[in-house]
Amino acid sequence: MQAKAAKKKTGAKKTGGMSIIIVGCGKVGHTLTEQLVREGHDITIVDTNERVIRDMTEIFDVMGICGNGASLHVLEEAEVGKADLVIAVTGSDELNLLCCTIAKKAGKDMAVIARVRNPDYSEELPYLRQQLGLSMIINPELEAAREIARVLSRPQALTISAFAKGHAELVRFKIPAGNVLCGLNLISVSQLLRFNFLVCAVERDGEVVIPSGSFTLQAGDDITFIASSRDVHRIFEGIGMRSQAVRSCMIIGGGKSSYYLAKQLLEQRMDVKIIESKRERCDQLSEKLPGAVVICGDGSDEELLKEEGIDTAEAFVPLTGMDEENILLTLYAKRVPGLKTITKINRITFNDVIDGLELGSVVYPKYITSEAIIAYVRARHNSMGSNVETVYHMFDNRAEAVEFNIGKDAPVVGVPLMQLKLKEHMLVACINRGGKIIFPRGQDAMQPGDRVVVVTTHLGLGDISDILD
């Protein structure tokens, strides 16, 4: 296909940002474009669908090229020789790998990132990354499955994100009516629980707050705290909320996400039942997951769900290819008392509507993927005194948690936190120092080699120096 260029909205190249080519304008490509444009990077998008290119160039200040991203001619038209980074997120793993390989050969000192989702490649990713010279390989379904598995290990949590190489967890949950936390300020909560943890953010009535010690909690507050991974279950027990991992899970749909999730849950010795409508896929899952019970049937059939034990299961995870079906199945399953539900949503963007449905835990693979890539982009673009290790967007992108690896030249090194002039709505949440999690006080100071988690409503932090006013 001959490449066709869509006119760029502004002729001048952005200053200060990276030059990035995004190949594939599906869900992940669109999300990446939106966030990277917001952070000031110069973006060129490539896709074979001319209408998609036209629509996106009308929405965003980007250059659009209609063509095959694995074609050298198309990449040259996208000025691959001047690019800092190529991100391939088409629907084909093989095309993504080929695109990155060609771009790597054509560009100079360029980073390349490929999305690879096929389980057949999952054991070979380190080899592929090394042999093809890839900077990163990201697997949305695998990462979504890992997040779902983490939430099932802490069923009272809505979401859980790992930081500090798994030593710390950022946990979000909603305070139920009548809970011991209701009416307590955060200083009193710390005295009550006597565990090392920190409440980082609270959403109340649609407003996100980075709270101080005097902030008083209320029923219905959507709060996020950070704690040592080993203390999270004890914190939930301390406030009278169930903390044991679920022991049985019913999964609807037998796609890639279901396979990855079932594999992880079986490794955790959980009882797993998968309901899938296609006989051929059922046979494949039975062969690959001998420890799981695979049922061939319609997962949206109410009678089948009852027959297969939805009333006695401890967790229910719809992973069909249709967001609407996943949502309806979750709403049905929430009738079962005590059943933990997790909903995967790929496309639907009506966040206010989804929040109003009170689905509980919701997982968005496109955001998990984009956050990992954006963390890489920030680390590559800003490396004055620190590198961004992890980025996690909170409360519909109104706040974010960023993990920095502190370098010896960082301006914050050796300075007590009480002496740092931090921006407002900024919280240094925890420090990982050689595997020891520190919840810092005013006299504590960051040191070279520390991994530091910062929570803020200021979006786009790229270097630890950005926390300073």
Give the C-alpha separation, 229 to 326, whole Å.
30
Domains and CATH numbers, the chain: 4-138 (3.40.50.720), 154-238 (3.30.70.1450), 248-363 (3.40.50.720), 369-467 (3.30.70.1450)
Sheet of 42-47: strands edge to edge? 4-6, 63-66, 42-47, 19-23, 85-88, 111-115, 136-138
pLDDT at 252: 97
Name 423's bridge partners: none
pLDDT at 103: 94
Max CA separation in the chain (angstroms): 67
pLDDT at 16: 63
157 class by beta-carbon count within 10 Å (0-12 exposed, 13-18 middle, 19+ buried): buried
Q: What is the pLDDT of residues 240-286, one digit of tens each?
A: 887 678 999 999 999 999 999 999 999 999 999 999 999 999 999 99
Give the C-alpha separation, 177 to 28, whole Å.
37
pLDDT at 140: 87
> 175-184, 344-353, 432-441: which has the minimum mean pLDDT?
344-353
Across the range 185-189, mean pLDDT stands at: 92
pLDDT: which is higher, 223 or 366 = 223
For residue 125, pLDDT over 90 is answered with no
Nearest residue to 61 (alpha-carbon basis) of 84, 85, 34, 82:
34
What is the share, in percent, of the chain residues with pLDDT greater than 70?
94
For residue 458, pLDDT over 70 is answered with yes
pLDDT band at 124 (very low <50, low <70, confident <90, very high): confident
For residue 170, pLDDT over 50 is answered with yes
Phi, psi of 391 (to 5 degrees): -130, 135
- Tell me which amino acid residue 461 is: L
Across the range 192-204, mean pLDDT stands at: 88
pLDDT at 3: 47
For residue 364, give the DSSP letter: -
pLDDT at 1: 42
> 300-304, 341-345, 395-399, 412-416: which has the minimum mean pLDDT?
395-399
Give the C-alpha separation, 430 to 167, whole Å.
11
pLDDT at 365: 87
pLDDT at 348: 63
pLDDT band at 357 (very low <50, low <70, confident <90, very high): confident
Name 161's bridge partners: 170
Contact 111, 375 (CB under 8 A): no
Give the C-alpha separation, 179 to 182, whole Å.
6
Across the range 316-330, mean pLDDT stands at: 94
Give the C-alpha separation, 378 to 239, whole Å.
37
Q: How far lies 165's CA from each of 267, 366, 453, in Å?
A: 20, 22, 12
For residue 236, pLDDT over 50 is answered with yes
For residue 10, pLDDT over 90 is answered with no
pLDDT at 73: 94
pLDDT: which is higher, 387 or 293 = 293
Q: What is the pLDDT of residues 421-449, one digit of tens each?
A: 999 999 999 999 998 999 998 999 999 99
Contact 421, 469 (CB under 8 A): yes
pLDDT at 87: 96
Q: What is the pLDDT of residues 138-155, one digit of tens each?
A: 998 898 999 999 999 989
> 4-8, 65-69, 167-171, 289-293: which has the minimum mean pLDDT?
4-8
pLDDT band at 164 (very low <50, low <70, confident <90, very high): confident
What is the share, in percent, of the chain residues with pLDDT greater than 90?
65
Nearest residue to 198 (alpha-carbon basis) of 231, 164, 158, 220:
231
Name 162's bridge partners: 169
Q: What is the pTM of this model?
A: 0.84
Mean pLDDT, the chain, rounded, equals: 89
